[in-house]
Structure 1
Amino acid sequence: MNDPVIDLRGVTRRYDDGPPALHDVSLAVKPGECVAVLGPSGSGKSTLLNLIAGLDRPDEGTVTVAGTRVETLGEAASARFRRAYVGLVFQFFNLLDDLTVLDNVLLPAHLAGAARRESREHATGLLATLGIGRHADAYPGRLSGGEKQRVAVARALVNRPALLLADEPTGALDTASGEDVRDLLNDLRDGGQTIVLVTHDLRLAEACATRTVGMRDGRVES
């Protein structure tokens, strides 16, 4: 029950002959924590997120998420693991414009083979909880940036993941929409969702995070 949701030990990742993108990084995130990862461009933040999500593999060290050694998984198993345990939120939403809001949210559930009726009820409930239930039958092109990010969060949560990873979730938003997303992340944190944010937005980190991790040159600095 008290095991960390994320447990990285001695993780190093190299892409070429230069300095490693990550060097000997160890990090644990407990259930219910909201951790903000801060640092300048090139500090290793996105590489860290990709390793946690199983989108990349370390050259050295271990990456354990929700009790699974994700660095040992093959491509198909890694995709199944993400669908079951990890929700991903990106800077630019990555919604499909030819699907309705509800169908965008339902897509991960369909890919996971979840029961259609139960998934639809859950997705509809998520949209209502996130304040965008009225847009369920609309298409993403009709929504504001803040509304699109709420749809992206609902999509990330539809399979009830143990972990929510957010990569610059306010980076493409205006001030008002960014505040909406901060409020949303606060609500999720208060509800016990484990969250890791990669961000340049100090206001987002200060408002949402229970702990911050500073990175520089591929290392955890603070």
Structure 2
Amino acid sequence: MTTPVIELRDVSRRYDGGPPALHEASLTVRPGEAVAILGPSGSGKSTLLNLIAGLDRPDAGTVTVDGVRVDGLGEAASAKYRRTRIGMVFQFFNLLDDLTVADNVALPALLAGTARAEARRRTAELLASLGVARHADAYPGRLSGGERQRVAVARALVNRPALLLADEPTGALDTTSGEDVSKLLAELNADGQTVVVVTHDLALARSCTNRTIRIVDGHVTEENR
């Protein structure tokens, strides 16, 4: 049996004495899966995302991603983990406006210690495969929302992560661009990339994933398609 990319065991997280944001949550995601994590605002899905990304720590339980015990990492090790093991795509792109598209994509590879020539080679390959190579020397502000999200996906993939995390990746896009990005995520998964999409949009979940996890009041349940 293959080793899971994500394994959460009995994870709980509570903030400032309030009700649990997550309560004894367990989750396993295996290589090559495309999983949607669904839930309304305040359900706990952002907390789950932050725990997987090493941006937060649980009060109880364990978080293991690509063989790394994320819940036990210090600050420097957490930053290295995010650079090398996971790629993250956000609702509002988070691209650096004063860097070109190519420089935005290459930056994580350079920060991870990749040689400049190799970082540039990976960048060119990703921009071509994602259909935005013609914008390599442009600045993000000159691109459409859909094009900027494709650049963000390229940046997330440049270090060849085991896991791609997408947080409301179509939330800031018009319908056509959103469908385009959804199709892209499905294609990446078809090529073997493990993908986790965090969203409140059931249509997005159905279009680019094949398994659904629902979070309600901090409780994680599997949902049949």
Which residue in the other structure is 1:199 paired with? 199
Which residue in the other structure is 2:133 paired with? 133
Q: What is the rounded CA distance, in whole Å, between the counterparts of 1:173 and 1:43 in structure 2?
A: 23
Q: What is the rounded CA distance, in whole Å, between the counterparts of 2:55 and 2:195 in structure 1?
A: 17
Which residue in the other structure is 2:113 paired with? 113
Which residue in the other structure is 1:190 paired with? 190
Displacement after TM superposition at 1:148 (Å): 0.4
Q: What is the rounded CA distance, in whole Å, between the counterparts of 1:18 and 1:83 in structure 2?
A: 32
Which residue in the other structure is 2:78 paired with? 78
- Matched residue SS, 1:104: helix
Gaps of 5+ in 2: none
Which residue in the other structure is 2:10 paired with? 10
- Matched residue SS, 1:170: coil
Q: What is the rounded CA distance, in whole Å, between the counterparts of 2:2 and 2:162 in structure 1?
A: 13
Which residue in the other structure is 2:88 paired with? 88
Task: Look up the equivalent residue of 1:111 and give its one-letter code.
Answer: L
Q: Segments of 4+ in structure 1 off by > 2 A? A: none
Q: What is the rounded CA distance, in whole Å, between the counterparts of 1:165 and 1:71 in structure 2?
A: 17
- Root mean square deviation, CA, Å: 0.8
Q: What is the rounded CA distance, in whole Å, between the counterparts of 2:54 and 2:105 in structure 1?
A: 21
Task: Look up the equivalent residue of 1:89 and give its one-letter code.
Answer: V
Q: What is the rounded CA distance, in whole Å, between the counterparts of 2:100 and 2:133 in structure 1?
A: 12
Displacement after TM superposition at 1:221 (Å): 3.1
Which residue in the other structure is 2:54 paired with? 54
Q: What is the rounded CA distance, in whole Å, between the counterparts of 1:119 and 1:95 in structure 2?
A: 17
Q: Does residue 160 of the first structure (1) align with residue 145 of the second (2)?
A: no
- Cα displacement string for residues 162-207 of structure 1 (whole angstroms, at most 9, x for unaligned residues): 0000100000000011011011101101000001100112111111
Displacement after TM superposition at 1:216 (Å): 0.3
Aligned length: 222
Q: What is the rounded CA distance, in whole Å, between the counterparts of 2:217 and 2:16 in structure 1?
A: 15
Q: What is the rounded CA distance, in whole Å, between the counterparts of 1:89 and 1:118 in structure 2?
A: 22
TM-score, length of structure 1 as denominator length: 0.99
Task: Look up the equivalent residue of 1:99 and give its one-letter code.
Answer: L
- Matched residue SS, 1:88: strand
Percent sequence identity over aligned pairs: 73
Gaps of 5+ in 1: none
